[in-house]
């Protein structure tokens, strides 16, 4: 458990954070980080196969990755945590999607404050390494092949999770991209929020610290020079068709990325 992350309104990696000694040698940071990532994944997979992977274990797995980022030289900055705490009941988190990292560390940040699950592609719940863990989290699974069917699944299963007081993380982009493309950011999330009558929390992330792998997109190089940024916006309800609220989320993400890219 890392209470220092969720107890304050923001979190910034302390300058005196201890690091893995070998990670400071040339090229070693990638291999050290990958080793810790795979160790965490396989431990979680083993527990999930035994039916022992509960919420506590999910948070711990997330914190293991969080810690590995910092101890390999990464610097993490989180703002807006008060916006999660001030909401009553479940919410929808609508975020851009840049790398594997946000999927791994969101649970350790959000789950201690709100019970949460993901909307994911079926590829993830069928992946040999991740399927047991992901299925244990009761996610909403999309095929990403038939937009009408995906819409039906999100509306039906999304309302079911929200009625059970489970918040939902949605990445409305069709795929992970370092460059944010508003045209690819669909409005499923705002439409679900309008239908379910719950609040939206926009989330902007910059996680290109962890790149795409050449042989596996889940295991890529890391760049400690690139800081990790996560910003949670103020919650709001969606009225009518939600077009204005959708643009509000897009603008929140764009403005933060523009700011971070200048730092």
pLDDT digits (tens, 9 = 90+) for 102-117: 999 999 999 999 999 9
| Terminal alpha carbon distance of the chain | 30
What are the helix (H) ranges across 50-163? Answer: 55-71, 81-85, 100-110, 122-125, 131-136, 147-163
pLDDT digits (tens, 9 = 90+) for 76-89: 999 999 999 999 99
Q: What is the pLDDT of residues 198-237, one digit of tens each?
A: 999 999 999 999 988 776 777 788 999 999 999 999 999 9
The domain limits of the chain are 3-262
- Of the candidates 159, 167, 41, 16, the one whose C-alpha atom is nearest the C-alpha of residue 100 is 41
- Mean pLDDT (the chain) is 92
- Tell me, what's the pLDDT at 22? 67
At 52-64, the pLDDT tens digits run 999 999 999 999 9
**Token pair for residue 225?**
């020079």
Is the pLDDT assigned to residue 1 strictly greater than 60? Answer: no
pLDDT of 17 above 50? yes
């Amino acid at each position: 458990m890392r209470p220092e992350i969720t107890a304050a309104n923001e979190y910034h990696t302390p300058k005196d954070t201890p690091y893995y000694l070998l990670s400071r040698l040339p090229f070693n940071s990638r291999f050290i980080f990958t080793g810790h990532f795979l160790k965490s994944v396989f431990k979680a997979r083993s527990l999930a196969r035994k039916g022992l992977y509960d919420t506590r274990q999910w948070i711990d797995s997330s914190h293991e990755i969080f810690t590995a980022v910092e101890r390999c030289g990464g610097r993490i900055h989180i703002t807006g945590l008060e916006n999660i705490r001030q909401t009553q009941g479940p919410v929808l988190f609508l975020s851009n999607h840049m790398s594997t990292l946000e999927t791994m560390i969101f649970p350790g940040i959000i789950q201690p404050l709100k019970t949460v699950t993901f909307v994911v592609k079926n590829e993830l719940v069928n992946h040999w390494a991740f399927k047991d863990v992901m299925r244990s989290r009761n996610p909403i699974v999309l095929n990403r092949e038939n937009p009408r069917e995906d819409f039906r699944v999100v509306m039906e299963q999304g309302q079911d999770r929200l009625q059970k007081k489970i918040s939902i993380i949605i990445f409305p982009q069709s795929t992970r991209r370092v460059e944010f493309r508003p045209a690819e950011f669909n409005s499923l999330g705002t439409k679900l929020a309008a239908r379910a009558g719950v609040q939206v929390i926009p989330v902007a992330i910059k996680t290109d610290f962890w790149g795409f792998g050449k042989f596996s997109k889940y295991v890529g190089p890391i760049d400690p020079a690139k800081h990790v940024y996560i910003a949670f916006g103020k919650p709001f309800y969606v009225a009518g068709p939600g077009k204005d609220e959708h643009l509000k989320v897009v603008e929140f993400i764009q403005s933060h990325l523009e700011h971070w890219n200048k730092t």
